[in-house]
Amino acid sequence: MIVRMWEARAEPYGFDDLLDWVCDIALPEFGHDPLHLSSEVFTSTDHRVVVISKWRNTPRSMPEPPPTLLARPAHSWDFTQVDR
């Protein structure tokens, strides 16, 4: 399993719109992908939106959010579970 963490910092005026975009537009694109296991969305008080998605393998990239909502470009990282 691969876990992808995607993070974007919104402009203060764009936080609600970015969160709506993630939940209503970006994440539904994963719903029909058989490699997608689950996704969770988190927010912070400094206008960040984080998506943690779990994949069987080969995670799909999040689509690019509307740039007018972002304080800086979005970032993503992939992780694998440590079995000790």
Q: With 90 as the cut, is the pLDDT of residue 83 above it?
A: no
pLDDT, the chain, mean: 94
Q: With 90 as the cut, is the pLDDT of residue 84 above it?
A: no
- For 18, residues 6+ apart whose C-beta sits below 8 A from its C-beta are 8, 10, 49, 65, 66, 69, 70
Question: Is 84:22 a contact under the CB 8 Å cutoff?
Answer: no
Supply the pLDDT for residue 43: 97
